[in-house]
Amino acid sequence: MSSSSADPTSTAPRLRVAPSPTGDPHVGTAYMALFNLAYARQQGGSFVLRIEDTDRARFNETSEQQLYDTLGWLGLTWDEGPDVGGPYAPYRQSERLDTYRPYVEKLIEDGHAYHCWCSSERLQAMREKQQKLKLPTGYDRMCVGKTKEERAQLEGFNETPVVRMLVPDDAPTTFEDVIRGTVSAPVPDDQVILKGDGFPTYHLAVVVDDHEMGITHVVRGEEWISSTPKHVLLYRWLGLEPPKFAHMPLLRNQNKSKISKRKNPEARLTWFSEQGYLPEAVVNFLGLLAYPPAKGESGEDVEKFTIDEFTRVFAWDKVNTVGPIFDLKKLDWLNGAWIRGLELDDLAARLLPFLQADGVLGDNPGLGELARLKSVTEQIQTRINLLTEATALVRPFYVADAELEIAEDARQVLKDTAGEVLDAALAALEPLTLPEGALGANREGNQWHAAEIERVLREAIVDGMGIKPRLAFGPLRTAVSGQKVSPPLFESMEILGKDSTITRLRNLRASLA
């Protein structure tokens, strides 16, 4: 057992996030990672990813890779971890079992821990009796001071013991918190620190690993406040310098309940990419949940920020201790703001996998299809808040004219004048010239561009038929896109080209006859 594995000459902070691979990663892991990472980067320190996989009953072997993928997608990258190595390897607790044994033996030798041979059935019956009598629940210390042979003579004996802490009556119940100041917690119980399978529990492993890895700041959720006195005791008994503790507020639903993967799809970290959120927006949102927005030059709130911007201004005393509400409407708004700020090529590239998954584009789209995607992306950039919303708007541009379906809600709102409007539009558009290979308003002889299309249609329908502008073009939008709502009409016609546009107008007209 080492007295200190950290470099005593280094003053740079070392922080970590230590998730358990028990299924789809929880959004709280990213939330914690952001605040740990921000402080580590700001102070020129290190950020460590440690996998706490001692709960073998709930262990999920695919979960560890999901952690790497989701945190990497968010840009919450670590300096040390199981996948990248580092000076304090190994970074999986299951590979560190030999590390914990000497600490357990020292605690037993010094009288701070003891073997407990009680069976799970006896412990369950004990808890039920305590609850029935409205007594505090906790171990009754039947095994304290007994040898294995002595304990075997009594009921509820289990051949394989666990190791428990022997908590004194005067155990400390307060500690200093970087965010909250002096914090009071319940009196600790005789916590199991080594299970019968030889694996440490969280309480021992976290203390040993944080010490061995030189962790200077333990930043975690406020649900661990009640356990911190146990950890402080272990540090004291082992003669170790405790880290600074910072307990973040829990993420909560609108009804103030804790977000859980069982009840809330948004508690799953993979859900955000599936729904079409940008990683920049998700990180931005997580920062705002427990931290005030920056102030602009005029004192206004600046809610959109990057990880780097967040890192530059980060301070623990600004962290809000009230449980933040996980407001998905706010996230949608933020995501829309981030989408509108992307370069066109970048947004098109991010849309592509969603369009491929939805069958709008194939696995290997051609140059022409990609060029069209960029043109369409420019038209929808201000109209979507999620990447998944693009499919409905983009699909009409990649559907054969004969296969374009007219949505029922779009057909139902067509007025009696729709046929006349389509006839007028066809008469106005057919004379427009579109020389071979000519695109855009600046190509010589090309009349098939948005400005000219709009001019002739307004002249024919608004002026010629006396229909109000906001009602004039509904049938054309339905004909071109099949939908009530579509990207800008005239630009859509330009992108589709003259032949497709005319064909689609005729197809809808024929269906009205």
Instruction: Return the active site residues.
Output: 261
Cβ within 8 Å of residue 471, ≥6 positions away: 415
Class of residue 83 by CB neighbours under 10 A (exposed 0-12, middle 13-18, buried 19+): middle
- For the chain, helix (H) and strand (E) counts, in that order, are 22, 11
Residues with Cβ within 8 Å of 331's Cβ and at least 6 positions away in sequence, in order, are 277, 281, 282, 285
Residue whose structure tokens are 């071109």: 480
Alpha-carbon distance of 463 to 352, in angstroms, equals: 40
DSSP at 303: -
Burial bucket for residue 282 (CB in 10 Å: 0-12, 13-18, 19+): buried
Q: Which two tokens stand for residue 457?
A: 């249609």
Of 268, 232, 320, whose CA–CA distance to 35 is shortest? 320
Look at phi and psi of residue 144 and say left if phi exceeds 0, alpha if psi is from -120 to 50, else beta: beta
The three-state DSSP-derived secondary structure of 122-182 is HHHHHHHHHHHCCCCCCCCCCCCCCCHHHHHCCCCEEEEEEEEECCCCCCCCEEEECCCEE
The type of residue at 470 is R
Q: For 180-246, what is the HEC assignment? A: CEEEECCCCCCCEEECCCCCECHHHHHHHHHHHCCCCEEEEEHHHHHHHHHHHHHHHHCCCCCCEEE
Q: Give the span between the Cα atoms of 126 and 263, in whole angstroms.
A: 31
Q: Which of 392, 333, 85 is nearest to 213 (CA)?
A: 85
Write out the two tokens for 423. Answer: 């006839």
DSSP one-letter string for 412-456: HT--TTHHHHHHHHHHHHTT----TT--STTSTT---SHHHHHHH
16's enclosing H/E stretch is: strand 14-17
What are the two backbone dihedrals, phi and then psi, of residue 65, each rounded to the nearest 5 degrees?
-65, -35
Residue 467 contacts residue 417 (beta carbons within 8 Å): yes
- Please name every residue paired with 171 in a beta bridge, in sequence order, or none if there are none: none
